[in-house]
């Protein structure tokens, strides 16, 4: 009988200690866990479509929204706040005589994206940041319009990276946070 009473007192003491522990007194308990912000997701997202789920480390990325530039078969070694690094295949259209009739060019690529920023459109999700700088380097073969030392358009410069001709897209952000096609 004494042992049973001691066990009961011991169990009661453990219950009291657990209730008085710092973890139990912590105001950031389970009720506040739901209020914590979602982790940030990162995207290469000029052609971001909010009707589609956010996909980090995607296998395919349209980088020209009209379909003339596609990164495919992408394999990523990094995808975080410091940047994204990967390799894959670039499938781009040489728009001669025009984009509808121009040949599709296929080349291996090395991609680096960095400088993630939130979108400046309130309709974009607050927990998604878009890499503002992206380089696509060509280790074997290169589209004829990539001429290092020239500029295609504001924010699109042709450069050399690690001995490879490349295009550097700067100040990238989504065109819109409306579903594509609207």
Q: What is the pLDDT of residues 4-55, one digit of tens each?
A: 443 333 333 333 333 343 444 444 445 455 556 679 999 997 788 888 888 9
**Residue 129 in domain:** yes
**Residue 150 in domain:** yes
**Residue 126 in domain:** yes
How big is the CA angle at 160 (ends 154 and 163), to the nearest 5 degrees? 170
Q: Facing residues of 92 across strands?
A: 69, 105
Q: What pTM, to 2 d.p., does this model score? A: 0.74
Question: Which stretches of the chain score pLDDT less than 50?
Answer: 1-29, 31
Domain of residue 75 covers: 39-167
DSSP string, 129-150: EEEEEEEEE-SS---TT--TT-
State the residue for tokens 């296929």: 106
**Residue 72 in domain:** yes
**Residue 146 in domain:** yes
**Residue 76 in domain:** yes
**Residue 102 in domain:** yes
Structural domain total, the chain: 1
- Please tell me the distance from the alpha carbon of residue 22 to that of residue 7, in angstroms, as a whole number: 25
**Residue 175 in domain:** no
């Amino acid at each position: 009988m004494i042992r049973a009473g001691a066990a009961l007192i011991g169990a009661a003491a453990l219950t009291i200690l657990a209730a008085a522990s710092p973890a139990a007194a912590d105001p950031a308990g389970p009720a506040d866990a739901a209020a914590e912000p979602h982790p940030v997701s990162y995207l290469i997202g000029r052609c971001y479509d909010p009707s589609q789920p956010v996909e980090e480390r995607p296998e395919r990325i349209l980088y020209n929204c009209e379909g003339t530039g596609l990164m495919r078969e992408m394999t990523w070694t990094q995808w975080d706040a410091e940047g994204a690094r990967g390799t894959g295949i670039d499938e781009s259209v040489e728009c001669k005589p025009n984009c509808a009739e121009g040949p599709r060019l296929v080349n291996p690529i090395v991609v680096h994206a960095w400088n993630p920023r939130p979108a400046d459109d309130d309709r974009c999700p607050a927990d998604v940041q878009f890499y503002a700088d992206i380089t696509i380097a060509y280790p074997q073969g290169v589209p004829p319009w990539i001429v290092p030392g020239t500029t295609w358009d504001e924010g699109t410069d042709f450069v050399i990276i690690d001995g490879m001709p490349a295009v550097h897209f700067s100040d990238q952000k989504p065109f819109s946070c409306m579903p594509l096609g609207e």
